[in-house]
Amino acid sequence: GGGGGGRFEFQSLLSSRAPGLDPTCTRLRASESPVHRRGSFPLAGAGPSQAPPAPLPEEDRMDLNPSFLGIALRSLLAIDLWLSKKLGVCAGESSSWGSMRPLMKLLEISGHGIPWLLGTLYCLSRSDSWAGREVLMNLLFALLLDLLLVALIKGLVRRRRPAHNQMDMFVTLSVDKYSFPSGHATRAALVSRFILNHLVLAIPLRVLVVLWAFILGLSRVMLGRHNVTDVAFGFFLGYTQYSIVDYCWLSPHNAPVLFLLWNQQ
């Protein structure tokens, strides 16, 4: 509104902030906005001596000054969605790189939980040395920990997979309808760090392991399964999981029962 009434309304909103409200941002209460107040204008009787109004429920407020962190997160999210859409070049058969889709799906299977779990169990059953069994037992523990943590975070965050994803994945768990974090990216980082630390490999093979992890992560975005941030956080989580496994390293000294039980198989 124009004139003194309008100016007074503006001042009263700034100076009579309710003590319970966030002091870092000016909140405009919906019921006090000029739109809602149209009937009660001008505020001649509502002077500064009047007691501050009681805070309204959260849903009745509007942030005029979102925090720097909020703006940064929203911007990151917008860039994430835009970049992920641009990189999703194998999301469908008719996409620009649609002919590469079968290769990307082969990569997908190379990082799937089932081949890794079954492969580890098979090697454990064939291993005839204590040292080999110890490493494989820890790899099994790492893979199971990974499945558990990823399922937990996916269930908590519940971020939907990108709209351009086709849900045609090989055996999934119910939480795999969610995309944050990428289970393939966590496994890629975890398993490659594990292999690099526990297998003696020639340099070209070590490079190949790192390349596999990186390309597997990239293929998740190219297939349209994930946004870039799902994969980036997946790599971080998988890398950290290895540190947890290394810290809790199972051995015949700290987990004798586990090793004895396995030996009786």
Question: What letter does residue 33 receive in the DSSP assignment?
Answer: S
Stretch that binds ligand L4R3MLFD, among 67-75, 170-178, 203-211, 249-257 (CB under 6 A): 170-178
- Which of 44, 39, 38, 17 has the alpha carbon at shortest distance from 28? 17
Stretch that binds ligand L4R3MLFD, among 91-99, 123-131, 169-177, 202-210 (CB under 6 A): 169-177
Binds ligand L4R3MLFD (CB under 6 A): choice among 184, 190, 192, 229 = 184
- Which of 65, 13, 19, 4 has the alpha carbon at shortest distance from 36? 13
Is residue 164 at the binding interface for ligand L4R3MLFD, with CB under 6 A as the rule? no
Q: Which is nearer to ligand L4R3MLFD, 181 or 193 (CB)?
A: 181
Residue 219 burial by CB count (10 A; 0-12/13-18/19+): exposed, middle or buried?
A: buried
Q: Which is nearer to ligand L4R3MLFD, 12 or 89 (CB)?
A: 89
Residue 174 tokens read as: 């119910």
Q: How many amino acids of this chain bind ligand L4R3MLFD (CB under 6 A)?
A: 15
Give the position of tokens 């045609």: 168
The residues, ordered by sequence, that sit 6+ positions from 41 with a Cβ below 8 Å of its Cβ are: 1, 5, 9, 34
253 as an active site residue: the answer is no
Task: Spell out, one character per residue from 101 to 140, where the chain touches ligand L4R3MLFD: x when CB under 6 A holds, - when not.
Answer: -----------xxx--x-----------------------
Angle at 137 between CA 132 and CA 140, to 5 degrees: 125
226 as an active site residue: the answer is yes
Q: Which is nearer to ligand L4R3MLFD, 8 or 141 (CB)?
A: 141
Minimal distance, residue 256 CB to ligand L4R3MLFD, in Å = 21
Residue 52 burial by CB count (10 A; 0-12/13-18/19+): exposed, middle or buried?
A: middle
> Which residues of this chain interact with ligand L4R3MLFD, rule CB under 6 A?
112-114, 117, 147, 169, 171-173, 176, 182-184, 220, 225
Active site residues per annotation: 184, 226
